[in-house]
Amino acid sequence: MLPPYPRPSPAQIWINSEVEALVLSYFADQSTPLEIDGIFNWSMTYDRDSDIWMPYGNSREFTMHDLRYPYVTWDQKIDRIVRSKSLDRLVVWHISSCPRPSRREAYVTDMMRYIPVHIEGKCALFENATKPSAEPSSYMFYLAFENSFCKDYITEKFWKTALQKGVIPVARGGLSRADYEAVAPPGSFIYADDFAGPRELATYLLEVAHDKVKYAAYFQWYKTHTLTYDDPDWWGQSKELESSPFCTICEKLNKPHKSKTTNFTSFVQGKCRLPRPWTA
C-alpha cells in the first residue's frame, strides 16, 4: 500500500525497499508502466544498481587486523571441515515453496537420478524424498537454488546455510556466474549453469566428494577472505555497522543530493531471466 500522496514535504525522501526477487515482487509486471514510477526517490534492494545496496551477503579480503592469526590456524580449520564430512551425507536441500520461475524442482528431480539428495521443507513434490539425517552443516554440498534468476539475487541460503556453516554451496541463480563472483569469496562455490545439466553437475559433485584435495580447495578462501554480511534479517542488519544499508541512508541524507524520482519500470527491465534449458 502506497503512502498518502503528495508527500507532506517536497524535501521528504521516499525509499522503495525490496528483498524478494523482482520477478515475484508487486512491481515486476513489465507490460505496463508501474504505479510507483515517479513516486519514490531512491531504491533499496539486493541489486547493485540500487541507490542503496542491501545484499543478503558479501565478502572482503582480510585486513592486517584479520591476519593476526597464522595461516596454519586456517589450514587446521579446513582440515577439520574436510575430515568431518562423509559420503553418506553428500547433498542437502531445503525448499519451502514450489513451483517457482527457476524450475528448481524439475532440475533437482533430474539430478536425483545421478546423486542422492536429502530434502526437507514444505514442497509437496518431494514429500517422499529422503529426509536429512543431520544438520545441513554435516553435508558436503548445499543446493543454494534460488526461486528466480534475477541480477544479484543471492539469498541467505548461499551465505548463512552454506558458506557460513562450512558447506560448499551449489549455486543456481543470478543472471550469470558473474553475479556471484562479484560478492562471494573466490573459489568458494560451484555454479550449476557451468554444466550442461544435472547429470554433469552430479558427476562433478561425486568427483569432488571423493577427492579430499579438490574438496578442500573450495575452502582456501578462509585464508584470505571473510564474510561481512550474513543474513540481513530482511532489513540489512550488518555485522559491520559501517556497511549497513541504514548507515548508507544516513550518509546520503546528510550529503547534498539532487531531487530525483526513480522510474521502476526501467529499473526492472532485463533484471530477470528464464532458466536455461538443460539436458537431463
Task: Give residue-wise pLDDT tens across range 51-68.
Answer: 999 999 999 998 776 665
Ordered structural domains, the chain, with CATH: 57-230 (3.40.50.11660)
Quickly state the pLDDT bin for 238 (edges 50, 70, 90): very low
pTM, whole model, 2 decimals?
0.89
Across 243-253, average pLDDT: 82
Q: What is the pLDDT of residue 72?
A: 59
Across 151-170, average pLDDT: 95
pLDDT higher than 70, residue 249: yes
What is the 3-class SS of the chain, one letter each residue? Answer: CCCCCCCCCCCCCCEEEECCCCCCCCCCCCCCCCCCCCCCCEEEECCCCCCEECCCEEEEECCCCHHHCCHHHHHHHHHHHHHHCCCCCCEEEEECCCCCCCCHHHHHHHHCCCCCEEEEECCHHHCCCCCCCCCHHHCCEEEEECCCEECCCCCHHHHHHHHHHCCEEEEECCCCHHHHHCCCCCCCCEEHHHCCCHHHHHHHHHHHHCCHHHHHHCCHHHHCEEEEEECCCCCCCCCCHHHCHHHHHHHHHCCCCCCCCCCHHHHHCCCEECCCCCCC
Residue corresponding to grid cell 531504491:
43
Q: Cα–Cα distance between 107 and 261 in angstroms, integer? A: 40
Averaged pLDDT of the chain: 85
